[in-house]
Amino acid sequence: MNKLLFLLLLLGSFKAFSIEPLIIGSKSFSESLINAEMLAQLLESKGQPVTRKLNLGGTKVAFDALNHGGIHVYPDYTGTGYVMILKKNGERDPIKVHEIVSKDFLSKYDIRWSKSLGFNNTYALTVRADDPKFSYANKISDVSGKLDRARLGAPYEFMERQDGYKGFAKIYNLNYKPSNLTSLNAGLMYNAIKDDQVDMIVSYSTDGRIKAFNLKILKDDLNYFPPYQPAFLAKTNSFIKFPHLKAAIESLEGAISEDEMIEMNDQVDRLKQRPSAIARNFLIKKGLLEGSVTKSQKDQGILSFMISRKKELMKILGEHLLLSFVAIICALIVSIPLGVLLTRKKRAAQIVFPIVNTIQTIPSLALLGFLIPILGIGFAPAVLALFLYSLLPLVRNTYEGIKAVDRNFVEASRGIGLTNMQILLKVEIPLALPIILAGLRTATVIVIGTATLAALIGAGGLGDPIFRGVATVNSNLILLGAIPSALLAIAADKFIGLVGNAFVSKGIKLKFERQA
């Protein structure tokens, strides 16, 4: 044990000689991605290596990651910190809210808030500017009590937040019928209102599509929404560990106006530009980065889009394969002995199967959420979750496969003098192999599909462009992840089928053929 500790310390001290990369996180919507990219590129230009864990699933995931050391810095909004993390409400003055979060985060979590990046991105009740139903309305009070037929779309988290729907509807007397309320992915709600699927949305005030889709913001005349000023959050010791971090953040403080942010969001959300390119252009325009501004890319077909993103595709494909492979191998190592053991111990089977079955019924996102406080974000919790999901088909099929072996064969083998282990290895497993392989195929398909969710906790993989694509309504991005993921699942299924088949005895195959 002591030797192990010593070895770890030694490894740790070697690591200190190379520069540790700074891990930047972001949530999975364009503005957060763009802000995070700006900081990442500034740091890289100063020679600080950066690891990007963008597209984290939400405030809880991103904040937990920061708090538990999975990431070093990420952008969030003062209002979010105030309401969602500190669970406070009431104060509406931007300066005071900033003071409160700065003070409380430092004392509670040792996390520092930077100054505001400049703009304010608050919630806004938004309608179509040319909607005759609301032509009279300019402020939210104007529609009080007149909404019994209006349909509202709002982001998921708005429905849950302290400063969200409940208080909002109460203060303004917004009398929506419950059946007319829809929670939507934030990226998708703009298209929903444009296409008249809903009449009103709770939008973000800096979203480019408000202007582009000719939408109208009703003024928050009762000052219900707290201020949402963007800032970077980092633990105090990160500023010591990464000497360039402070200056890089400071150069972005107050640097982005509301119009500039709206314009950049529009570039990404509607015009399908890459957040990294948009962030880079902005930094160059502001004189924070050297180089020349890249021109905007035209709309592409999916194939040429994929080719243009070849490098990214290879990277996420590699991550996806690694995640799935490690999870499946670990599951195999555990499941096969476990499945065998359960055929020997009836009592244990009665305990283990309900557990494995229950794990399978936990929604994957919820499972990932549970694991973050324990394992942080990134590779480890993602692999653990995938591992847990692949247990059931593997354990069950091993168990059922061995149970299904004719007792006559076992009896005959024991009768001629095989030991229990020899019976298992030479008789039971070869005979159960087709069923175990079927379980392996099921598990692999489940794992490859579920691994797309790993992106939400910063483990990368093919889910990364899918979630970015959903957030920015970019179908090319969605397909960039979805097509390879589907192909990978099919290919892996076929591959295991083919390779596995080679290990199944011809005698068994003939038997199946006769039975068919």
Partner 1 sequence: MIKVQDLKKVFKPNITAVNSVSFELERGEIGCIIGTSGCGKTTTLKMINRLIEPTSGKILVGGDDALSVDAVSWRRKIGYVIQKAGLLPHLNVKDNISLLSKIMHKEKNFIESRVEELMEIINMPYAQFKDRFPIELSGGQQQRVGIARALMEDPPVLLMDEPFGALDPITRNSLHEEFWNLNEKLHKTIIIVTHDMDEAFKLGHKIILMHKGDIVQVGNKADFLERPANQFVEDFIKGQVHE
Instruction: Give the footprint of partner 1 on this chain (CB under 8 A).
Output: 408-409, 411-419, 422, 426-427, 430-431, 505-508, 510-511, 514
DSSP labels for 402-436?
HHTS-HHHHHHHHHTT--HHHHIIIIIHHHHHHHH
Shortest reach from residue 414's CB to partner 1, in Å: 6
Nearer to partner 1 by Cβ, of 46 and 426: the residue is 426
- CA–CA distance, 277 with 296 (Å, rounded to integer): 9
Nearer to partner 1 by Cβ, of 156 and 512: the residue is 512
Shortest reach from residue 418's CB to partner 1, in Å: 7
Shortest reach from residue 331's CB to partner 1, in Å: 25
Nearer to partner 1 by Cβ, of 418 and 482: the residue is 418
Q: What letter would DSSP give residue 161? A: S
Shortest reach from residue 415's CB to partner 1, in Å: 4
Nearer to partner 1 by Cβ, of 218 and 410: the residue is 410
Task: Answer whether 357's CB lies under 8 Å from 413's CB.
Answer: no
Amino acid 87 reads K
Phi-psi region of 174 (alpha: psi -120 to 50; beta: other; left: phi over 0): beta
Shortest reach from residue 408's CB to partner 1, in Å: 5
Shortest reach from residue 409's CB to partner 1, in Å: 6
Nearer to partner 1 by Cβ, of 179 and 408: the residue is 408
Nearer to partner 1 by Cβ, of 409 and 495: the residue is 409
Q: Can you list the pairs that 299-308 forms with residues at least 24 positions away whose Cβ atoms lie under 8 Å?
A: 299/272, 300/476, 302/476, 302/479, 302/480, 302/483, 305/476, 305/479, 305/480, 306/479, 306/480, 306/483
Nearer to partner 1 by Cβ, of 246 and 403: the residue is 403
Nearer to partner 1 by Cβ, of 410 and 462: the residue is 410
With 0-12 / 13-18 / 19 or more C-beta atoms within 10 angstroms meaning exposed / middle / buried, residue 430 is middle
Nearer to partner 1 by Cβ, of 301 and 415: the residue is 415
Shortest reach from residue 425's CB to partner 1, in Å: 10
DSSP labels for 330-393?
HHHHHHHHHHHHHHH-HHHHHHHHHHHHHHHHS-HHHHHHHHHHHH-SSHHHHHHHHHHHHHHH
Facing residues of 216 across strands?
127
Amino acid 326 reads V
Shortest reach from residue 160's CB to partner 1, in Å: 56
Count Cβ atoms below 10 Å from residue 393 Cβ, excluding itself: 24
Shortest reach from residue 501's CB to partner 1, in Å: 13
- CA–CA distance, 198 with 180 (Å, rounded to integer): 9
> Does an H or E element contain 106, and which?
helix 94-109
Nearer to partner 1 by Cβ, of 26 and 413: the residue is 413
Handedness of CA 115, 164, 370, 486 (dihedral sign): negative
The residue whose two tokens read 């653990």 is: 384
Tell me the angle at which helices 429-450 and 310-344 cross, rounded to the nearest 10 degrees. 140
Nearer to partner 1 by Cβ, of 19 and 425: the residue is 425
> Does an H or E element contain 26, and which?
strand 22-27
Shortest reach from residue 441's CB to partner 1, in Å: 20
Shortest reach from residue 406's CB to partner 1, in Å: 9
Nearer to partner 1 by Cβ, of 83 and 431: the residue is 431
Shortest reach from residue 393's CB to partner 1, in Å: 23
Handedness of CA 406, 409, 412, 416 (dihedral sign): negative
For 464, the 3-state DSSP assignment is helix
Task: Answer whether 275's CB lies under 8 Å from 33's CB.
Answer: yes
